[in-house]
Structure 1
């Protein structure tokens, strides 16, 4: 066979093996990812010759890199900045604090097992991020995805995606190829990474939604998909050129697209590519595992599994309790967060490629992930019992301290909520923080950019003024709009605080203007000093003075234009990051009040071949059949709250069910088994439809009646698509069209339905005869 034919053969083997492994794991109640990994181990180069059949392993790994891009793009699509904002800072604190605790314990274990310091860092990073895909499936299968503890855990997985991306970037930048001290350059790497992400995300949120809106009007879904796919590879390449990983670029673009109305459409369009190339990625990971080395590292796998289960659950529970959650909720949420996933494999592969981890540690990562995936269903099912057991025990000293701590937190929260000044300042302070960070990031990133430009083009590339002066002018104009926004927001903050103080003390009312100036100018000067220190000043004081003069002149000439641009930018970012009242918000606030009754919220997505497509909730009648209530229907990103009995359901709809766990499970079985069921359309598929021309005879009972009066669409499921009268055609006729003898009706339906219409047309004629 030719090389191309052998490569096609390898792909066929990989995909078929992945499908078989995924199907077996699905039957066992495990994530398909487990099956993909086992399939890779079965067909890879480390198995016996009679079993390992894939020949072009290196080429398959190239496809695996492509799979990593689509996989990270899919994770980004499921990430939601709006959802993270709604959940608040607490989930970020839990994710970061829990990751730090687990990382410390795992790193110490790695060094105790004989790893070098750099290897210990990678080993610790293996355990800091849970698998949102595995956790989501576990909660959906158990029917507890809308419990309070489940929602907290899902929120943490959302924040852990950020932790994972930061970890990947730091691991790839701090210890490249295993060289250098583990802690060298961390501050600089974090600063450059944060600046790069902030600038790229801001530009993306300003540009990508507008382009997608325009494409949505002017182009088909196919062209939108092609554009986003091209943009995905372009952004990934740009991020690699900047010194970061493909995974970062793909994740960032996915997170940006996730904030657009086109997300559901693009998610469906990319689902096939993501599933296929993602499966190839996991199979390639499995192919990299030295199967013969597994017995030798079984002890390491066991220790890693203990740290992953006990350490992650304990760390998350402690962090939840520190943020005010009760012990039962905290422990249950911690147990849910134990499964490891795809980020562990990526980090392990990165450490192996960099030479800081032995190759067998990929088997350790996979073994720990398999173990947590197997234990996950048990921990979720028994989570309430374990949590009640922990909460029911008396912990002398700890319980009293925790109770006092929670009362203190509640008092601080109530005081903050009552604080009028905080309510007035909160939004302005957030805007100032984001804008200062954006300007700082632009200036920090400009320094290596200016250096590279001078090395590439030289100082005399721009006539008359020189390259340095030209670049300084461009950078000054670029940061001028956010600088004006910062000054206006600072002025507003100073005015609000001055007015507040003047109300509190009448004596200060006379010097309100002075108070406002004293609040504004020190902060403005401090900001100027900060920007001067981070700005890439390479031309001396005179160049800096010239840039300041240029900025002042531009501000005076184009002040109104700059303000309008800033307003448009703020509106665009607010539209992308602001709260979406139509978006699903997780568990309703009243759900906790019904928990003592044994009620839960379950979610079910109707399959593509759902037999009850187009039926109403009254026809399906889940309330009578299973004693559950449908409290919401989500369709293509839009939610219908509290739908009535006449609401129809279609394949792809997500139903939010309220009932006991047993009732929800019964409803899921009933709906998932409804393929070709009693609700199915007895009149056949689309191919059974036909169009006939039927005449309205003289004396017909329908003559003189309007189309909405005969109600054929409602009664017989046929459509009158055209009428011909005296040589004139009406396509289609409106509901008020009055039928007359001699009219020729173009009617669409199945044969049995059309026969009924023809019988109605002839009935009056026969009576007249």
Structure 2
């Protein structure tokens, strides 16, 4: 008789239960994650009247694989360039929310008499919102075109990175079992070091490898290579003391910068869905219904703390970042839930045996409740804003509007800010690379050479020379490379009091490079004479071969930037007007009534109050199109209007998929919404909008003017610019600031 392994039986049972519950949850239009958890509860050890899983150890291994692929998938959607582009509003909102929820969770745990470690993990569980649930709710409610959705997506991107940091810090805390500030600082510095190193190395190597093998990559090969790269980074992360989830997330974010990102995401989706289903089922298997009954009151308390805490913290964060009251309220109520990262943090506590058994099912129960409430909270956000606007003192609302408007203008960087920012990045990046080379040379290269090629002192010398050779281009870039020449020359020539600080900066750069050389030599020889000799030789060599080093470094930098920018850069959600006007992208459907008509025939601005800022037709860009321009099928149109205006005009596009500018691959001409303040020295002062040449100079449209507290949306072209007019222009971001000169 053929014996069927228990693992196969268990997998069949898990997938059968998951399949039935997901069909049910699809039918009742609820998130599939909840269906998986329910399936796990049914086949878990706590319910006896149906077949249950017997080999829990193997299922936990499959679940860990599920976490790896779940984080790999999140990394593919993350992208470091997206993080850079989310802007200050999303970053401030996310940081305020995470900090406040950590405190709220910790204080709530202590207030209920829980242990310190349970309270800390509760704070971590409550601090991260659910990307999956929010995206699903936005799609079902049809609010992705609204301006607050762009801010929410930006917050989720920042939260992904914060969650990874939390995993590392909580792991360190769980192992040390004490609040050692030094250990925490070391863990943070170690994480930052490896994040920078992996990102630089990954962007330099992985896209190059994918380009070189592009002709050999069919779908099957690409799938295998992608999973192999993911698991290799997982091994590397574990090797240096981090969790497998971190390695998977990092490789996903590296691949997200390549031209193959969408293809990899499509190919790995089925694998991710399968293993993620097993992970969420395993989450349900660990729930004891008896605990949920015993801890009904804490579940209710934590649910209320989650909804109110996230609404207040993210809403206040959005207000502090300069968002209007309406956007802040909508953002706060959209983020009021916990999800997949919370499960991973709760699983970490159980795996490390530092949290109580009741914490995990409580987290799952709170997630289930807040998942159900999320769509209703999003629906209620606008009516609740209108209620607040009527209820709050009028001077408060006016003060919030003034603050929001004052933070939305064009900011100019001084030469010092530009220079210091570039010097900081240059120092951090090259220091990380040099330190990595030093440790690779001393801990791996030198033992390999002395053991397998030449032993003794000769082997040490060869290892040292090779390590110095690899370090030299980066030492040159750290110490000698000219950075921001324009800003540097302005400061040197025009500011007689700045030469001293500039000289000090250069001395600091050179001293740091010399320190790294001495640090390297000290790894091989403990005599200072050898260190001094090597430093002198290095200085002489760098000056003699400066041009060759510059050429070699420029080639490496060009390759890195080429790989980094190979995928079309995605525009961040632009800064928004205080009266709810913002940019969005619409696609003209082939069956749309707009097809073939000119803009003057459509009269979109006159009928709906919506401006068309740009049309993308294949590879052709048409910024601020003229009145005789026609719309054709599949044109991508960048429009500007209020939420209600965009909702109305969306129907004209007949099912066209709108995408928020942050997520779209266009425009490629830097079309953004910007604010300028007119004064008596402005070139356009006392000129009309038409005669000012704004359309010709900036490829832009004047979409709003604020004059003495009065707001004029879509002003007439004959309107004259006056002193202290606040003018909102959608146009080329590189040309609009010229109007300030």
Is this a same-fold pair by TM over 0.5? yes
Q: 1:570 and 2:557 equivalent?
A: yes
Q: Deviations over 1:736-766 (max 9, x none)?
A: xxxxxxxxxxxxxxxxxxxxxxxxxxxxxxx
Separation in 1, partners of 2:155, 2:196: 21
Say if 2:128 and 2:163, in contact at 8 Å, map to a contact too.
yes
Separation in 1, partners of 2:618, 2:289: 43
Separation in 1, partners of 2:307, 2:592: 42
Tell me which of 415, 420, 425 is aligned to 1:421: 415
Q: Deviations over 1:38-94 (max 9, x none)?
A: 11111112222x224222222122111111111111000001222222222442232
Separation in 2, partners of 1:397, 1:45: 59
Separation in 1, partners of 2:166, 2:52: 35
Structure 1 residues 305 and 637 mapped into 2: Cα distance closer, same or farther (>3 Å)?
farther
> Secondary structure of the residue that 1:382 maps to in structure 2?
helix
Tell me which of 434, 447, 456 is aligned to 2:425: 434
Structure 1 residues 568 and 137 mapped into 2: Cα distance closer, same or farther (>3 Å)?
farther
Structure 1 residues 640 and 15 mapped into 2: Cα distance closer, same or farther (>3 Å)?
farther
Q: Deviations over 1:378-425 (max 9, x none)?
A: 111111112232344335996687577657756xx65x42x5526xx6
Structure 1 residues 619 and 437 mapped into 2: Cα distance closer, same or farther (>3 Å)?
closer
Matching residue of 1:484: 476
Query: Where do residues 4-403 of structure 1 align in structure 2 (5 Å cutoff)?
Result: 4-48=4-48, 50-176=49-175, 179-181=177-179, 183=181, 185-394=183-392
> Secondary structure of the residue that 2:356 maps to in structure 1?
coil
Shift of the alpha carbon at 1:262?
0.7
Say if 1:195 and 1:444, in contact at 8 Å, map to a contact too.
no
Say if 1:145 and 1:602, in contact at 8 Å, map to a contact too.
no
Say if 1:74 and 1:274, in contact at 8 Å, map to a contact too.
yes
Tell me which of 606, 621, 633 is aligned to 1:647: 633
CA RMSD of aligned residues (A): 4.3
Q: Deviations over 1:149-169 (max 9, x none)?
A: 110111010011100111111
Structure 1 residues 420 and 188 mapped into 2: Cα distance closer, same or farther (>3 Å)?
closer
> Secondary structure of the residue that 1:126 maps to in structure 2?
helix
Structure 1 residues 603 and 41 mapped into 2: Cα distance closer, same or farther (>3 Å)?
farther
* Worse overlay, 454-463 or 342-351: 454-463
Tell me which of 480, 487, 494 is aligned to 1:496: 487
> Secondary structure of the residue that 1:201 maps to in structure 2?
helix
Separation in 1, partners of 2:539, 2:113: 60
Query: Where do residues 446-595 of structure 1 align in structure 2 (5 Å cutoff)?
Result: 463-465=455-457, 472-489=464-481, 491-493=482-484, 496-500=487-491, 502-503=493-494, 518-524=503-509, 527-528=512-513, 531=516, 537-538=522-523, 539-540=525-526, 541-552=528-539, 554-556=541-543, 558-577=545-564, 582-585=568-571
Say if 1:41 and 1:47, in contact at 8 Å, map to a contact too.
yes
Separation in 1, partners of 2:394, 2:347: 45
Shift of the alpha carbon at 1:494?
7.4
Shift of the alpha carbon at 1:241?
1.2
Say if 2:479 and 2:510, in contact at 8 Å, map to a contact too.
no
Normalising by structure 2, what TM-score?
A: 0.75
Say if 1:116 and 1:356, in contact at 8 Å, map to a contact too.
no
Q: Deviations over 1:78-134 (max 9, x none)?
A: 012222222224422322232111101111212223333233221211111111121
> Secondary structure of the residue that 2:54 maps to in structure 1?
coil
Unaligned runs of 5+ in 2: 658-741
Q: What count of residue pairs does the alignment treat as equivalent?
A: 639
Normalising by structure 1, what TM-score?
A: 0.72
Say if 1:192 and 1:444, in contact at 8 Å, map to a contact too.
no
Shift of the alpha carbon at 1:249?
0.7
Q: Deviations over 1:656-677 (max 9, x none)?
A: 99986876897999799xxxxx
Structure 1 residues 216 and 408 mapped into 2: Cα distance closer, same or farther (>3 Å)?
same
Matching residue of 1:696: none
Matching residue of 2:688: none
Structure 1 residues 391 and 620 mapped into 2: Cα distance closer, same or farther (>3 Å)?
same
* Worse overlay, 304-313 or 86-95: 86-95
Separation in 1, partners of 2:483, 2:182: 41
Matching residue of 1:749: none
Matching residue of 1:724: none
